[in-house]
Structure 1
Amino acid sequence: MWLLPQLCLRYEVDPLPSEIKRMIKRMVRLSILLTDCIPNSCIINIYDEGDCIPPHIDHHEYVMPFCTVTFMSRSNILFGKEIDVIGPGEFKRSIKIPLPVGLILTLKRNKADLTKNCIPGVRHRRVSVTFKRMDDSKVPHGFRPDPELEELHPYNR
């Protein structure tokens, strides 16, 4: 379920599951995620064959960068200033980037708040986990930062 941050101010949100926290810790330690933008929320999308995410601009209430990890099957993500809907799960785009299984795609501020993106209808069952950090002024009622994630540092190389 998508809850916009302004709606979350009225609802309590469950803490991140331990499996998700393990993923975050590992990505920070490997310098995939930066310590100044450690995620405090995630969105798990489970796609059945034909499911899609229509064209949208990611909400400005989240701090950039954020990242998405792809599981189970590959798909594509489309980007463009304008993305036309051709039919159910079919979109006309400017740029297409493949998302193979295991890929971590990081979106930074560079026009990410001006450019639409979408996932066209998938051919096979797929799961994605998107890690985002809510702006500190927009966190839900009763939200407490997770002490396990507060003091993370990358591994020394």
Structure 2
Amino acid sequence: LKHRLTYQAPPEEWVQTGQSRETIQFGVHVKCNKVSNAPVDELPAEFETLLNQLSEMGVFTATQRPDSCCVNVYAEGSWIPPHVDSDAFDRPFCTVSLLSAQEVVFGDDISGAAGEWAAGKGGLRLRMPVGSVLRVDGRAANPCKHALPRATSRRISLTFRRVSVATRARFLAIHVASREAAIARRARRLEAKMARGW
């Protein structure tokens, strides 16, 4: 894990409370539910093959095909607080569960603390078996929140999402502006050298 370009260890203060997981990002960089334009590895061929299989199963359409993946590694006792995935991603998104069966809680009013979550009225507590695929769309994706109770044993999840057109356009604009600024800097340096008689 730690040799990948976008490996992230959880902050030490989170590890102490159990609110933690190790992650590797592919396709786009995400940290604390914020999407950034940082360098990132492309989706590996094995993940593209898995996406082909999920597409054949009808998990998503061709226009919904994910272009990013967050690999999450949860230790026993780790948990994730209630949240809504960033709107920088289109819906639906899907999660493949590996190593152990664990639960996820959905609801408008998730109560509890430190990984002990209750879904509240109208909420749902769902078990994710090993090898299962959870497709999250509609109200379940937003405005509903979801949270992960404390893991009873080690778990890996592959969360596949598609970066929105607006987010890709924003990243492209940042890239173009950065490139233009670099060209302008080089031009200024050249002018300064020429002015000094270089």
Q: TM-score, normalised by structure 1?
A: 0.81
Separation in structure 1 between the aligned mates of residue 56 and residue 118 of structure 2, nearest angstrom: 38
Separation in structure 1 between the aligned mates of residue 57 and residue 134 of structure 2, nearest angstrom: 15
Separation in structure 1 between the aligned mates of residue 132 and residue 49 of structure 2, nearest angstrom: 17
* 2:125 aligned to which of 86, 93, 96: 96
Report what 2:151 is aligned to. 122
Report what 2:5 is aligned to. none
Instruction: State the 4+ residue runs in structure 1 displaced beyond 4 angstroms.
Output: none
Separation in structure 2 between the aligned mates of residue 119 and residue 110 of structure 1, nearest angstrom: 18
* 1:60 aligned to which of 74, 87, 100: 87
Shift of 1:24: 0.8
Structure 1: runs of 5+ lacking an equivalent: 143-157
Bigger shift: residues 28-37 or 117-126: 28-37
* 2:165 aligned to which of 115, 118, 136: 136
- Contact 1:28–1:34 (8 Å) recurs in 2: yes
- Contact 2:92–2:141 (8 Å) recurs in 1: no
- Contact 2:116–2:149 (8 Å) recurs in 1: yes
Structure with the higher helix share, 1 or 2? 2
Q: Does 1:113 align with 2:142?
A: yes
Deviation per CA, 1:1-45, whole angstroms, max 9, x where unpaired? 43322xx23x22211112211111121133222111110101111
Aligned to 1:110, what secondary structure does the other structure show?
helix
Shift of 1:137: 2.3
Which amino acid in 1 is paired with 2:111?
D
Separation in structure 2 between the aligned mates of residue 75 and residue 42 of structure 1, nearest angstrom: 20
Structure 2: runs of 5+ lacking an equivalent: 1-7, 9-29, 176-198
- Contact 1:59–1:113 (8 Å) recurs in 2: no
Shift of 1:124: 0.8
Greater RCO, 1 or 2 (C-alpha within 8 Å, sep 6+): 1
Separation in structure 1 between the aligned mates of residue 118 and residue 51 of structure 2, nearest angstrom: 33
Q: Percent identity?
A: 30
Superposed CA RMSD: 1.6
Quick one: structure 1 residues 111 and 96, their matched pair in 2 at CA, closer, same or farther if it must change by over 3 Å?
closer
- Contact 1:62–1:134 (8 Å) recurs in 2: yes
